[in-house]
């Protein structure tokens, strides 16, 4: 287990926490809009996708186009988050936020105005790059600017805003679906996001750069001016922070003479064991967050709801809103408790809860499966066995296995728990089978058993259980797992490596996001729906062990101290000795200036 020894950079902290003014909260509120845009964009596309394929100008839109339009944004977000590391070192954190909100606004407007598929793809690429930028830079910006005692809370607010963006996207998706959804509604869904991004752009014209970036780039007077605003004129704290920043920067500059410091940051990270360890842990936390299946549950809620027997589009959207509210309530827990109880305990609690909830999701899918109607021999189905896929579908032993496969649907004999698994009709997969009892209008009264065609779901006595299990999952996931990877990654790294390392770990988040979402459907076909969730549960068990043994507690450490938590005893002692020395130099320089 990781030892949680309190260390200090050698300075005595002022006894009381600083009293913060409105400025910090305005700054944080403007920054976390980035989280809102991230959440909104990732969710709104599902609602828009219900209508875009039939929109004039965009149709025909086959599944390949649909997949491109949905996945291009997370794909480009991975690229954007990687690029933003370098960009934010050279240009500054603030300019990258300005760039992200500008690109987002343009991307949202292009999507809303799209007259063809190419234009839509261009808009989605811009949105992806922008959310990639935002997901990397906002936690860094908050981490570097926020006073230590509220840092965890403010970065958690970023994660809260992701969930809020997702709820709002569902509500807007629901609301706009009543306004000519095929021509105007889906455009409004995209256009809406241009408003908060434009607000963020305007705010950041006036908001400052982070004090740490300013100091590192030689703007000492500006650093002090920003600290004065952040600490609301509290001289004791301003001096303390100024000395901390100066000491850590001096340390860095001393190293710059060495050959090591002249190598590119990425290579230096590889050669610095404690930073390499930190970025490995940070990237694994982001990967584990995705491997717990959050986005499959979010992306496929509509399917899960439909598979519970709800047919109406509007009802489906409103139940999705209900589920995303569960995902929104959770982040208030870490936000309010993180500075009291620390990061580890909240993370472990949420992780344990997620394991249980994933098992419940698995069990509920199993119950649905076991209670679903059995497949009968083809004999009585009237199916022509030379039709494509007839034999393949027939091999599924029950309705649940049958409807999980794209090519098949279940033709159930009404009033019984039996039926036939038949290939779907090419022209009307939702309405009929290609051959056999469900291929045309049902037989008249007395001419044979009445049948009903089920493409997506099977009626069982457990069908609503997965919805409740998913609600519980979202509540538990969002009460820690949603925020902690972001919070910890904003704290783990030293200034010289921060943007590079955060961009690496953020890219890991996006890559695993894509990987898990794109493999879900094939996974359910290979190992069943229950199997997929048991697999996510098993991966989350390894996440629990990983957090328990490898993640240090960062509560109470200044952002410049956190890196020492990844050092071994010897390295830590050496580092602390050097820092004390530098600090004494800085202090005596400050005194001579006075
Ligand atoms: O922290 C966020 C949050 O949990 C979102 O709901 C999810 O869509 C993101 O992928 C994740 O990074």
Query: Residues 59-113: pLDDT tens digits?
Result: 888 888 988 999 999 999 999 999 999 999 999 999 999 999 999 999 999 999 9
pLDDT of residue 50: 85
The alpha-carbon radius of gyration of the chain (Å, integer) is 27
- Give pLDDT, residue 249: 83
Predicted pLDDT of residue 547: 98
Q: How many CA atoms lie within 13 A of 341 on its CB side?
A: 13
User: What b/e string do you get for 201-216 counting C-beta neighbours within 10 Å, with b at 16 or more?
Assistant: bebbeebbbbbbbbbb
Give per-residue pLDDT as tens, 394-438: 999 999 999 988 889 999 998 899 999 999 998 888 889 999 999
Indicate which residue's Cα is closest to atom 1 of ligand 1. 482
Number of CB atoms found within 10 A of residue 406's CB: 13
pLDDT of residue 256: 62
Query: Within 6 Å (CB) of ligand 1, which residues are found?
Result: 42, 159, 162-163, 166, 289, 294-295, 298, 482, 509, 513
| Helix, strand, coil percent values for the chain (each to nearest 5) | 70, 5, 25
Give the number of the atom of ligand 1 that is nearest the alpha carbon of residue 327.
Answer: 6
Q: What is the pLDDT of residue 446?
A: 47
Distance between Cα 325 and ligand 1 center (Å) = 14
Q: Residue 376's pLDDT is what? A: 94
Kindly give the number of the ligand 1 atom that is closest to the alpha carbon of 483: 1
Looking at residue 7, what is its pLDDT?
Answer: 38
Distance from C-alpha of 557 to C-alpha of 550, rounded to nearest angstrom: 17
**Ligand 1 mean position, distance from CA 130 (Å):** 16
Rounded Cα distance between 1 and 353, Å, is 21
CA nearest ligand 1 atom 11, residue: 482
Give me the sign of the Cα torsion angle 189, 192, 198, 204.
Answer: negative
Which of 73, 75, 134, 295 for a ligand 1 pocket mutation test, highest count of atoms within 8 Å of Cβ? Answer: 295
The CA–CA distances, whole Å, from 234 to 10, 239, 373, 556 equal 21, 9, 71, 19
Query: pTM here?
Result: 0.89
What pLDDT does 184 receive?
96
DSSP reduced 3-state for 591: helix
Question: At 370, which helix (H) or strand (E)?
Answer: helix 343-371
Instruction: Name the DSSP class of 459.
Output: -
- The pLDDT assigned to 594 comes to 55
At 300 the pLDDT is: 75
Where is 515: in which H helix or E strand? helix 495-550
Q: Residue 548's pLDDT is what? A: 98
Spatial distance between the Cα atoms of 477 and 43, rounded to a whole number of angstroms: 17
Phi, psi angles (nearest 5°) of residue 200: -60, -40
Contact 339, 153 (CB under 8 A): yes
| 594 residues of the chain, pLDDT tens digit each | 333 333 345 567 888 999 889 999 999 999 999 999 999 999 999 889 889 999 999 988 888 898 899 999 999 999 999 999 999 999 999 999 999 999 999 999 999 999 999 999 999 999 999 999 999 999 999 999 999 899 999 999 999 999 999 999 999 998 998 999 999 999 999 999 999 999 999 999 999 999 999 999 999 999 999 999 999 999 999 999 999 898 888 877 776 666 566 688 899 999 999 999 999 999 999 999 999 999 988 877 777 777 766 767 778 778 888 888 999 999 999 889 998 999 999 999 999 999 999 999 999 999 999 999 999 998 888 888 889 899 999 999 999 999 988 889 999 998 899 999 999 998 888 889 999 999 876 544 445 678 999 888 888 888 889 889 999 999 999 999 999 999 999 999 999 999 999 999 999 999 999 999 889 888 988 998 899 999 999 999 999 999 999 999 999 998 888 999 999 999 888 888 887 888 788 777 767 765
Q: Which two tokens stand for residue 451?
A: 């049948």
Which pLDDT value is given to residue 577?
Answer: 85
Q: What is the pLDDT of residue 4?
A: 34
């Amino acid at each position: 287990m990781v030892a949680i020894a309190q260390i200090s950079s050698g300075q005595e902290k002022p006894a009381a926490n600083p009293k913060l003014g409105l400025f910090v909260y305005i700054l944080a509120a403007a920054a976390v809009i980035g989280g809102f845009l991230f959440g909104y964009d990732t969710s709104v596309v599902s609602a828009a996708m219900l209508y875009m394929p039939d929109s004039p100008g965009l149709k025909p839109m086959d599944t390949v186009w649909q997949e491109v339009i949905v996945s291009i944004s997370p794909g480009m977000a991975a690229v954007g988050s990687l690029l933003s590391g370098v960009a934010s070192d050279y240009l500054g954190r603030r300019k990258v936020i300005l760039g992200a909100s500008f690109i987002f606004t343009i991307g949202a407007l292009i999507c809303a105005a799209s007259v063809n598929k190419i234009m839509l793809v261009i808009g989605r690429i811009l949105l992806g790059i922008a959310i990639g930028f935002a997901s990397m830079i906002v936690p860094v910006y908050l981490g570097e600017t926020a006073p230590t005692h509220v840092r965890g809370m403010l970065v958690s607010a970023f994660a809260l805003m992701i969930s809020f963006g997702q709820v709002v996207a569902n509500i807007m998706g629901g609301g706009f679906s009543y306004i000519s959804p095929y021509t105007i509604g889906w455009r409004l869904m995209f256009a809406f996001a241009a408003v908060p991004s434009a607000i963020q752009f305007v705010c950041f014209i006036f908001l400052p750069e982070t004090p740490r970036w300013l100091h590192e780039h030689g703007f000492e007077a500006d650093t002090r001016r920003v600290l004065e605003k952040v600490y609301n004129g509290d001289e004791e704290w301003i001096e303390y922070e100024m000395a901390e920043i100066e000491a850590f920067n001096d340390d860095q500059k001393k190293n710059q003479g060495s050959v090591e410091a002249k190598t590119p940051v990425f290579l230096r990270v590889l050669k610095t064991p404690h930073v390499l360890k930190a970025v490995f842990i940070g990237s694994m936390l982001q990967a584990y967050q995705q491997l717990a299946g959050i986005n499959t549950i979010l992306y496929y809620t509509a399917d899960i709801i439909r598979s519970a027997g709800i047919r109406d589009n509007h009802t489906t959207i409103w139940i999705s809103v209900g589920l995303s509210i569960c995902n929104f309530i959770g982040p208030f827990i870490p936000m309010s408790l993180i500075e009291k109880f620390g990061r580890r305990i909240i993370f472990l609690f949420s992780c344990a809860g997620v394991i249980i909830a994933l098992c419940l999701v698995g069990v509920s899918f199993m119950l649905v499966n076991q209670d679903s109607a059995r497949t009968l021999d083809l004999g009585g189905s009237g199916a022509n066995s030379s039709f494509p896929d007839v034999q393949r579908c027939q091999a599924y032993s029950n309705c649940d296995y049958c409807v999980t496969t794209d090519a098949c649907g279940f033709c159930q004999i009404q009033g019984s728990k039996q039926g036939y698994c038949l290939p779907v009709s090419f022209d009307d997969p939702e309405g009929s089978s290609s051959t056999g009892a469900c291929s045309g209008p049902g037989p008249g009264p007395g001419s044979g058993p009445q049948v009903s065609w089920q493409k997506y779901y099977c009626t069982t006595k457990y069908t609503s259980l997965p919805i409740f299990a998913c609600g519980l999952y979202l509540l538990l996931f969002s009460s820690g797992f949603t925020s902690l990877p972001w919070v910890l990654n904003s704290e783990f790294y030293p200034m010289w490596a921060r943007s590079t390392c955060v961009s690496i770990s953020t890219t890991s988040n996006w890559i695993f996001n894509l990987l898990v979402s794109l493999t879900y459907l094939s996974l359910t076909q290979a190992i069943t729906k229950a199997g997929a969730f048991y697999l996510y549960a098993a991966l989350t068990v390894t996440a629990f062990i990983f957090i328990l043994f490898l993640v240090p507690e960062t509560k109470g450490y200044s952002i410049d101290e956190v890196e020492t938590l990844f050092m071994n005893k010897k390295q830590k002692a050496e580092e602390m000795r050097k820092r004390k020395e530098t600090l004494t130099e800085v202090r005596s320089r400050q005194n001579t200036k006075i």
